[in-house]
Structure 1
């Protein structure tokens, strides 16, 4: 879905990636998308990676100059709960199906050799974008975490590619700030090289913020295939759907997908209020529902009062 948030994010991601294509001898900046769960970070970054992949393939072809090497413009890996420098390089080698990936636990292959093999795979396959998901799993306050952070800086210098990261609450991890006293310089370098980007939730559908939410619901309606779906089925329930999802696109899609599955299974073939009310979604959205209900009602009251004041002021000017 081309939401306003995704549109803004894509513009900034293209800025970072295309700028890094100029001047290959300089240190490349990276971007990190920092947003709470349920806002579509992984979906957005995967969509961007797919668009970049297609653009590079259209320009340079499926194979590189020798015709024997597959062109792989984008590499994607994810952090685990216990990420180490060896595990990071192993993930990259596994992505390329490198023969060394199966023997990375051998004592004959040192970590630096693995890093060199991973870098060579990136160069050989013409990779220009590396996506690293769930980077918030990095424990920067540990020695291993600092080692991985330093490894990422080395990779950014060594690889002819741009790094794009996603994470949750990145500002509190210490990765973008001065972590340990002995590593202030290292963390400061990361903060200077990484661009922090956000992916905010939808604001309450009141006044100017209402149109983007209505537009999103209209786009979803256009894609739903339900036999008895009336016109404006979702848009007429805009306030209710915002309350149920708290403006989080992940919660919204989960609600609509589950409700659609039941509507098809039962033969109802429409998303009525009764059906939606009987669908349970993530615990965070359900727990926040009473609070956001009051918030939305108060914002609507304030908006009405504002319109009344503006109307009275306009009448006074006219008189």
Structure 2
């Protein structure tokens, strides 16, 4: 029977937190990112046949399952994957010593930018390492083969060009004490080459404040990083309004953002004299919408994927997708995937604790979505959470046009494609 459990935990409790901001931590995360095994799917009757100890273990496994819901592809993340995946491989295959076009991933807080970008980069690295038999092609004979195809760096909260450069060097474990900014950038160049890095991700890039005295240093740092023959991926909230594009303009023919080489000599690169333009594509990772049939269908499809990963004993098909539930969940989260995940995770925990064992609007109404976790509010990384109340600020009740009043399948739920 699928519900039978051994007398030991059917899953591994989490160990030390993996820090992706180091080469070793990134490698561990990349290798283990799909290794979690969810709890088996049991009915209430099957759960009742378990011994008291097995019930406790299974409930713990269910809680872990809900805390580790898999990342689902959305129409928005699929668009990012198409652009980013193509850009990473095209740039990695270039033999010419030209500047690699970069990528900016823009969006609001809690919209899954970091996990989307990291998953795409990790998939690229898996394939790239297979092509090189896991060996660093730049390694010197007789030395250790240190291969870090992807470098993931989170921009410090109090970010300056120097602190960003130091964070990059910290990823590799390289020393940097007492270095000037040009020395730091030179050391970054060496680390990127020595570790055969093809992709440099700078997350939360809009933390890099564009103060007047540091404006040019910040822009010069971006130009310098782009000249190091890696694909620079900048991830941030509100990039167009951040000031990072102050000297950039869109090419009408390609739609790309172009940073022309400055005339002054502060770029910290050996290629300053080439006047090479630095180009970025910008892609937006937007929240779901709920204003057209196709947008509603995409939202319901996403809810279907979440529902399939829940392990509640009284859950029934359509728990998240029938009747008023899709619109309710959209109203509570504004279509932001991170808020939805938080609400579902906390709601599932409450459903297990109370014995409800299913998610309803009444149960979810008792759940507050609380955020924080070290995110920078001033950089727009924490979104505004919609209120729990059914009424809007003007006292109007919610729109019920898409509700199913027949008690059957939701009229906007997608039907299965014919075989």
Common fold by TM > 0.5:
yes
Query: In the alignment, is the contact (CA less than 8 A) between 1:175 and 1:190 conserved in 2?
Result: no
278-287 vs 144-153, greater mean Cα deviation: 278-287
In structure 1, the residue corresponding to 2:385 is in which secondary structure?
A: helix
Query: In the alignment, is the contact (CA less than 8 A) between 2:105 and 2:285 conserved in 1?
Result: yes
* CA displacement at 1:213 relative to structure 2: 0.8
In the TM superposition, what are the counterparts of 1:126-275 in structure 2 within 5 Å? 126-157=196-227, 159-178=228-247, 193-204=279-290, 206-236=292-322, 237-275=325-363
CA distance in 2, matches of 1:177, 1:255: 38
Query: TM-score of the superposition, structure 2-length normalised?
Result: 0.63
* CA displacement at 1:19 relative to structure 2: 2.8
CA distance in 1, matches of 2:130, 2:245: 36
* CA displacement at 1:295 relative to structure 2: 10
CA distance in 2, matches of 1:115, 1:81: 20
* CA displacement at 1:118 relative to structure 2: 1.7
Query: TM-score of the superposition, structure 1-length normalised?
Result: 0.82
In structure 1, the residue corresponding to 2:98 is in which secondary structure?
A: coil
CA distance in 2, matches of 1:266, 1:231: 21
* CA displacement at 1:272 relative to structure 2: 1.9
Counterparts in 2 of 1:123 and 1:265: CA distance versus 1, 3 Å: same
Query: In the alignment, is the contact (CA less than 8 A) between 1:201 and 1:247 conserved in 2?
Result: yes
Is 2:166 aligned against 1:90?
yes
CA distance in 1, matches of 2:318, 2:343: 17
CA distance in 2, matches of 1:293, 1:63: 63
In structure 1, the residue corresponding to 2:104 is in which secondary structure?
A: strand
Q: What value does the CA root-mean-square deviation take over the aligned residues?
A: 2.9
* CA displacement at 1:220 relative to structure 2: 0.5
Is 2:149 aligned against 1:73?
yes
* CA displacement at 1:130 relative to structure 2: 0.6
In structure 1, the residue corresponding to 2:129 is in which secondary structure?
A: helix
Query: Structure 1 segments of 4 or more deviating over 3 A?
Result: 184-192, 291-296, 298-301
Query: In the alignment, is the contact (CA less than 8 A) between 2:99 and 2:276 conserved in 1?
Result: no
CA distance in 2, matches of 1:143, 1:190: 25
Listed one character per residue, the Cα deviations across residues 140-190 of structure 1 (whole Å, up to 9, x for unaligned) are: 242224202201211211x221010111111112211349xxxx9668999
* CA displacement at 1:299 relative to structure 2: 7.2
CA distance in 1, matches of 2:277, 2:243: 10
* CA displacement at 1:53 relative to structure 2: 1.8
Count of aligned residue pairs for this structure pair: 290
CA distance in 2, matches of 1:287, 1:177: 36
Equivalent of 1:52, from 120, 124, 133? 124
* CA displacement at 1:71 relative to structure 2: 1.3
Counterparts in 2 of 1:53 and 1:164: CA distance versus 1, 3 Å: same
CA distance in 2, matches of 1:25, 1:299: 58
Contiguous gaps of at least 5 residues in structure 2? 1-71, 249-258, 264-274, 371-382, 404-419
